[in-house]
């Protein structure tokens, strides 16, 4: 591992990245495949779901898993499997959207703070400290109390919570790159600050951003589920893996499948994201790679 050819492959193209993952990290690859299946099912939820996720049918409530409904029905007679599929769709949607927003804003702030320095840096980084020192659930509570429960509030909350991590990482890398020769050469050639940041620095901080995207995703999925569990996120009857746990709690002794399956789906989803994120980090973080090689 860590041969020059591998390094070259990492820099050059994505197909070889996958090949590298397959060769070096079997668990990461399995997690990645499971994740692709998860995403595929979530995207195809309207096609593959056997029933309607919100359609209530009081006669059919709390049916145990059978051929008619593989995972049974919940307290309102809704098909549990369908709700899990649509719930996963929402988890992934909220996760991807909020983390992308956080990455975009955080990267921009980090680039400016790291490259421009001066008071812009001090102000940005102190602001990031403040956001960072707020327990995430609490920040979400504040935001929900302003704009009410719902996906808009959740996405804003998760994005705000995740932004400081990206800003810190990008600022650190930018500071290190600022005085490297190829950047200085571009300065000497008269490039504008924007051009230097976008063309020269951004491509070189991409790897740590990618790693953090994967790590932040699991946090975002958990937070969405937690907020929906507390009734601050998904507004009923919208299915969410988190709200399924709290909705069915009153009946779970009688019908354990109503909470066990959504719980299993949530746990597996987060586990896959975590393992895949770890695998990407091991591949892209040169420090860890040298530490691991014999």
Partner 1 sequence: MIAFFARRVLTVFLPTLLGISILVFGAMRLIPGNFVDVLIGIGPDVGQAQRDEIARSYGLDKPLPIQYLLWLGNTLRGNMGTSLRTGEPVAGEILARLPITLELAGLATLFSLLLAIPAGILAAVRRGGAIDVAIRVIALVGLSVPNFLIGTLLILFVSTKWSVLPTTGFVPISDGLVANLKSLVLPTIALGTLLAASIMRMTRSAVLEELGRDYLTVARAKGLAPRVVVLSHAVRNALVPVITVVGIQTGYLLGGTVIVEQIFAVPGIGRLALDAVSQRDYPLVQGATLFIAAAFVLINLLTDLTYGLVDPRIRVPD
Question: How many residues does this entry show for the chain?
Answer: 294
90 binds partner 1 (CB under 8 A): no
At residue 179, φ and ψ (nearest 5 deg) are -100, 10
CB of 271 to partner 1, least distance (A): 4
List 194's β-bridge partners, or say none.
Answer: none
- Per CB under 8 A, 242 contacts partner 1: yes
| 3-state DSSP assignment of residue 69 | coil
Binding part of the chain for partner 1, among 14-22, 92-100, 172-180, 243-251 by CB under 8 A, reads 243-251
Tokens 């789906």 found at: 265
For residue 157, state whether it binds partner 1 (rule: CB under 8 A).
no
Identify the residue among 253, 287, 293, 294 touching partner 1 (CB under 8 A): 253
Among residues 157, 245, 279, 284, which is the contact residue for partner 1, using CB under 8 A? 245
Stretch that binds partner 1, among 107-115, 121-129, 197-205, 207-215 (CB under 8 A): 121-129
Q: Which of 172, 231, 235, 285 binds partner 1 (CB under 8 A)?
A: 231
Q: Buried (b) or exposed (e) across 118-144, using 16+ Cβ within 10 A?
A: eeebeebbeebeebeeeebeebbeebb
The reply to whether 235 sits near partner 1 by the rule CB under 8 A is no
Helical packing angle, 202-229 and 257-284, nearest 10°: 170
Interface residue with partner 1, options 183, 225, 234, 280 (CB under 8 A)? 225
Find, among 206, 216, 112, 106, the residue nearest to 163 by Cα: 106
Choice from 11, 104, 130, 180 touching partner 1 (CB under 8 A):
130
Candidate residues 191, 204, 238, 274; the one interacting with partner 1 per rule CB under 8 A: 274
**Contact status, residue 121 vs residue 175, Cβ threshold 8 Å:** no
By the rule CB under 8 A, 7 interacts with partner 1: no
Query: Minimum distance from CB of 278 to partner 1 (Å)?
Result: 9
How many whole angstroms separate alpha carbon 48 and alpha carbon 40? 10
Angle between helices 26-43 and 80-116 in degrees, nearest 10: 120
Question: Which residues contribute to the site for partner 1 (CB under 8 A)?
Answer: 126-127, 129-130, 133-138, 141-146, 218, 222, 225-226, 229-232, 242, 245-246, 249, 252-253, 256, 259-260, 263, 266-267, 270-271, 274-275
């Amino acid at each position: 591992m860590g041969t020059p050819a591998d390094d070259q492959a990492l820099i050059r193209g994505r197909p070889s990245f996958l090949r590298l993952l397959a060769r070096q990290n079997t668990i990461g690859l399995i997690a990645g495949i499971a994740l692709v299946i998860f995403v595929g099912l979530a995207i195809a939820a309207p096609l593959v779901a056997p029933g309607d996720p919100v359609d209530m049918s009081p006669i059919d409530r709390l049916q145990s898993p059978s051929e008619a409904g593989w995972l049974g029905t919940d307290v309102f007679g809704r098909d549990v499997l369908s709700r899990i599929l649509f719930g996963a769709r929402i988890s992934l949607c909220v996760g991807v959207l909020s983390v992308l927003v956080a990455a975009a804003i955080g990267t921009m702030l980090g680039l400016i703070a790291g490259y421009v320095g001066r008071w812009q840096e001090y102000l940005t980084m102190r602001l990031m400290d403040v956001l960072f020192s707020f327990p995430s659930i609490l920040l979400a509570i504040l935001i929900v109390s302003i704009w009410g429960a719902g996906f808009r509030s959740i996405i804003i909350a998760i994005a705000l919570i995740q932004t400081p991590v990206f800003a810190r990482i990008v600022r650190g890398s930018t500071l290190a790159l600022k005085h490297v020769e190829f950047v200085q050469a571009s300065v000497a050639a008269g490039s504008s600050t924007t051009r230097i940041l976008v063309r020269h620095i951004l491509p070189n901080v991409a790897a740590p951003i990618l790693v953090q995207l994967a790590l932040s995703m699991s946090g975002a999925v958990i937070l969405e589920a937690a907020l929906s569990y507390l009734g601050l996120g998904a507004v009923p009857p919208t299915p969410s893996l988190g709200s399924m746990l709290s909705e069915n709690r009153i009946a779970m002794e009688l019908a354990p499948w109503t909470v066990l399956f959504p719980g299993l789906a949530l746990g597996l989803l987060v586990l896959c994201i975590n393992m895949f994120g770890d695998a990407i980090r091991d591949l892209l973080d040169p420090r860890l790679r040298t530490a691991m090689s014999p």
